[in-house]
A and B are shown apart, each in its own frame.
Chain A
Amino acid sequence: MIDRTGKLSRLAVLLALATAIHSLESLIPFTVGWFRFGFANIIGLATLYIFGFKDAALLTIGRILLGGLISGQFGSPGFLLASAGGIGSIIVMGGAYLLAGKYLSEIGVSVLGAVTHNMVQLWVAYLMLVKNESILILAPMMIVAAIGTGIVNGLAGKILIKRMRSLTPKSQI
């Protein structure tokens, strides 16, 4: 039996956490303007492993909408990039978890999600904003950056998933 209230409240806390991380992360100063860690993806990853793809996709969309409202970016080009990257990455992470979950740990899934996030963002930026092919030269750099952040997020997600599983009764998963 699935305890629907327990699941709902857990998902609500996760969504609030993801939104807070998503918004607060923009306060981390970086000299490279477009570089972000994507820590909010830790929550998306944990939701994917604990509650499944549907809830993880909903959480990601909700996180992007709420984060956009909080940071005042709703409807801006940055919001467009964030939503395209976020949705693309959760779809690929869900696919990787379902199809290759045997071979990949959370780290591999997270790396795939991060790389997809960056590539989708770059492609959308090329199609909608910049419209100049030279921007695609950034692709290798962004893949390498995504591998780094993906590993960090995957490790963090792995720890979070382990802790959450030990706290969540089996009936509520």
Chain B
Amino acid sequence: MRAWFRYFTPGDITLIFLLCVFAAVLSFYLPNRLTTNGNIVFISCGSRLVGRYSLNHDRVISVKGPLGETKVQIENGKVRIPSSPCPNHYCVKMGEICSCGSTLLCVPNQVVVRVGGNESQNLDAISR
């Protein structure tokens, strides 16, 4: 162990330590900085688009799926599924989302809630 360790100078160890700290700071800082909040919510059930709703107006939307009604709640710029007839309630446990591109999903009831952004809402995809 010691024979292997003596190859490093104190400068090396300081440098490696500083870079690790830098990487750790970046890994907390970048995700907050780079995800932008969306402003529109797309709700679909199966292949049918139920509707698009603004993220800025609080409201509760009931979506009829094969199992029953899934409730989608928009509140304070965030969207969540407070109740759903599915057996495991994974969609409820997903919590609330607001960043552009993130999705809430209830597979048994076929409900998809997706947050969209500002510019590209009319485009399916962009290739450059």
Contact = CB atoms under 8 A, between A and B. Distances in A.
Given A137-B34, A140-B30, A111 B8 contact: no
A105 B16 CA distance: 12
Interface string B9-22: 11110011001101
Given A115-B19, A144-B20, A155-B7, A136 B34 contact: yes
B30 A147 contact: no
Given A104-B12, A111-B19, A136-B34, 11 more contacts: A100-B11, A103-B10, A112-B15, A137-B30, A139-B23, A140-B30, A141-B23, A143-B26, A144-B20, A144-B23, A151-B16
B128 interface: yes
A131 interface: yes
Contacts of B11: 100, 102-105, 108
Contacts of B15: 104, 108, 111-112
Interface of A: 100, 102-105, 107-108, 111-112, 115, 131, 133-134, 136-137, 139-141, 143-144, 147, 151, 154-155, 158
B31 interface: yes
Contact of B7 (A102, A143, A147, A158): A158
Nearest to A133: B34
Nearest to A134: B34
Contacts of B16: 108, 111, 147, 151
Interface string B32-52: 001100000000000000000
Contacts of B7: 105, 107, 155, 158
B122 interface: no
